[in-house]
Amino acid sequence: MKRSLHKVLIVVNINKPQSERLVSDISSYLSELHIEVQVFRLSGRIDPPVIDNIDLVFSLGGDGTVLFCSRILQDKGIPILAVNLGTFGFITEVSIDEWKEAFDQYMAGKTGLSHRLMIRVVVIRDGENIFMSRGLNDLVVKANGVSNIVRLKLNLNETRLGTFRADGILVATPTGSTAYSLAAGGPILDSEMDALIVTPICPFTLSNRPIVVSGEDIIHIEVLEHQRTDLNLSIDGQEMLPLQEGDIVMVERSRGRALLVLSNKRNFYEVVRAKLNWSGDSDA
């Protein structure tokens, strides 16, 4: 079924080469189709744009730009057409030369949407909620420094999983399974699975391994007393919060999902194969 758009938001990472030229090309093309265009230039930590009657968002940059867009669009049900201004990212499947074809295919109803699970993160301090945010990739609790072991207690729902001595703990979504969690030894999940990965970062005990849990589970990470270093919480590597001893970080599936326009050129597994250089040959 053909789609009709009235207003499009372009979120662009202005630090990427060719970004302004691409903004101009997309704006001109959409204007010819009598579609209103709003442009938001992303550089550093700035306030998000006002989302008012937006039907579609172009994300121009890399995976980080998509992560930003997913947070500001949470619960709004607005699709994101992610265009990568460089090599293919794990999230951005559309290259800079493919944006017009991808947009036309979307408008013609020939491509669908990928519904990506997001996480909701709450920090509880002295019995009160002091922080809340959402993420598309992951949450990380780790030392504010290099090679500092921290002590964290991990609970899954009402079940105590244990006390972990490690560089930290991260909780990743299926989308985030190809990011920090993968580098820390976690598995790759199908991008639309309803599951979360809990991955210890460089654990002191080798028996502490990554686990995959249901998307319906609630994870609690408690910062224990007598730490030898300061700890930080980060979400998608873009939002940071210093943690204190006794803080509890609660992680659960968010009600809303990130909606990504699918590419008709390649799918998630083809992107993973290319990025990880899987050849499939006998000498791979």
Which among 16, 69, 22 has a CA at the least distance from the CA of 43? 16
- Taking the C-alpha atoms of residue 237 and residue 256, their distance in angstroms, rounded to an integer, is 20
Judged by DSSP in three states, 267 sits in: coil
- Which is the catalytic residue, given 25, 47, 63, 126? 63
CA distances to 4, 6, 88, 231 from 268, rounded to whole Å, are: 27, 29, 11, 34
DSSP structure string for 16-47: STTHHHHHHHHHHHHHHTT-EEEEEEE-SS-P
- Taking the C-alpha atoms of residue 250 and residue 134, their distance in angstroms, rounded to an integer, is 11
- Taking the C-alpha atoms of residue 168 and residue 195, their distance in angstroms, rounded to an integer, is 20
Which among 37, 54, 51, 233 has a CA at the least distance from the CA of 135? 233
- Taking the C-alpha atoms of residue 74 and residue 57, their distance in angstroms, rounded to an integer, is 13
Q: Where are the beta strands (DSSP E) in the chain?
A: 7-13, 36-42, 56-61, 80-84, 94-95, 113-125, 128-135, 138-143, 150-156, 159-166, 168-172, 195-201, 211-214, 219-223, 231-235, 239-243, 248-261
Residue 281 annotated in active site? no
Residues with active-site annotation: 63
